[in-house]
Amino acid sequence: MYHHRRRISTLQKIILAITITSTHQSILVSSWCLKSLHSNRFNIMSTMKTALSSASSSQEDEANSSGGSLLVSAMHRISLTTDDDDTSPSTNIRLLLASQSPRRREILDMMGLSNRYTAQPSPLDETALQLELSRQDITPQKYARTLAERKAHAMGLALSANGKSGNGITLIIGSDTIVDLEGSIMEKPNDEAEACSMLRRLSGNWHEVHTGVAVYGVGAGMNTSSGDNVKCMFSFTDTARVKFATLSDKDIQSYVDSKEPMDKAGSYGIQGIGGQLVESMVGDFFTVMGLPMHRLSRELSKAIASLEC
């Protein structure tokens, strides 16, 4: 009986040896086949993906062990809003949110920045820019990123012109969030009738939420060809996909009656009552809320590190 069981055991166990050579960006994979028990079944592709992911994570951990890749490791480099002395080399960076959005302020507060940034609206004529962009053949992703860039840049120019950039460097965060239903851009509703119309269109359907983010640096250390001391540190658009439940007319009207939709792109706020309308989503929750926390953290960390070079 023992020999019979060994004879019919034909499954093989794949042991993957993966050597990653970062200099040439190549991966050498070798495998050996060993006999295994009938109960041990392995999916080769799954095993390879797991091994590759583990190797990639190990490399990233090793690369980040000294400096850190998230803003939490560089928080001390940002000046406190109560600190009048901006001459210290260790805290000569100010952070300014070019927005009065309570959602974006809430996200920055959750990141631990509550006493390390100020907020004020950008002087940009946003309505005029939206009209200009609507006449161009651009993607919703570029539309959101362009608005974010222009908001931050306009704020940077205003600070530079008024001589309010200080002795250090101010990093200005500009952001814009739009809802995209099959290529149709939804901004904030103009009135309750438009809010109801938007929600009926979103009902039962998938849509995308794009949040554009741009950070500009302003200060004496920002050398630019234009000579205005305002430089784009980075910009990007982050996208999440959201599926609405099928909504009744009563649900829609009741939600609009709450007044929550009136200052929100697509006429809903996922972090509030509007979260009840969302059946599922794919992507970063904070992107839908108005500011992609993780990606912003990574990019701000890189920007701060570049200022130290």
* Average of per-residue pLDDT across 157-184: 88
Helix (H) or strand (E) holding 12: strand 12-21
**Contact status, residue 20 vs residue 48, Cβ threshold 8 Å:** no
Over residues 194-244, the pLDDT tens digits come to: 999 999 999 999 999 999 999 999 987 676 666 678 999 999 999 999 999
Task: Report pLDDT for 44.
Answer: 39
According to the model, what pLDDT value does residue 37 have? Answer: 31
* Nearest partner of 169 among 307, 22, 4, 299, judged by Cα: 307
State the amino acid at position 11 in one-letter form. L
Q: What is the pLDDT of residue 121?
A: 95
CB 229 within 8 Å of CB 220: yes
**28-37, 202-211, 255-264, range with the lowest pLDDT:** 28-37
pLDDT number for residue 227: 63
Position 15 confidence tier, pLDDT thresholds 50, 70, 90: very low
Give me the pLDDT at residue 83, please. Answer: 66
CA atoms within a 13 Å half-sphere pointing along the CA-CB vector of 295: 21
Q: Which two tokens stand for residue 256?
A: 């609009």
Of 48-52, 75-79, 87-91, 115-119, the range with the lowest mean pLDDT is 48-52
What pLDDT sits at residue 259?
Answer: 97
**Mean pLDDT value across residues 38-54:** 42
What's the rounded mean pLDDT across residues 262-271? 96
Please, what is the average pLDDT of the chain? 81
Output the pLDDT for position 265: 94
Does this model's pTM top 0.95? My answer is no
136-150, 173-187, 214-228, 277-291: the lowest-pLDDT one: 214-228
- Write 10-19 long-range contacts (CB < 8 A, 24+): 11/35, 11/36, 11/37, 11/38, 11/40, 11/41, 12/36, 13/40, 13/42, 14/42, 14/44, 14/47, 16/47, 16/48, 16/51, 18/48, 18/51, 18/52, 18/55
What pLDDT score does 308 carry?
76
The yes-or-no verdict on residue 23 having pLDDT over 60 is no
- Between CA 141 and CA 112 the distance in angstroms is 28
Judged against a pLDDT cut of 60, whether residue 14 lies above it is answered with no
Cβ pair 156, 204 in contact under 8 A: no
Average pLDDT over residues 277-296: 98
Annotated active-site positions, please?
176
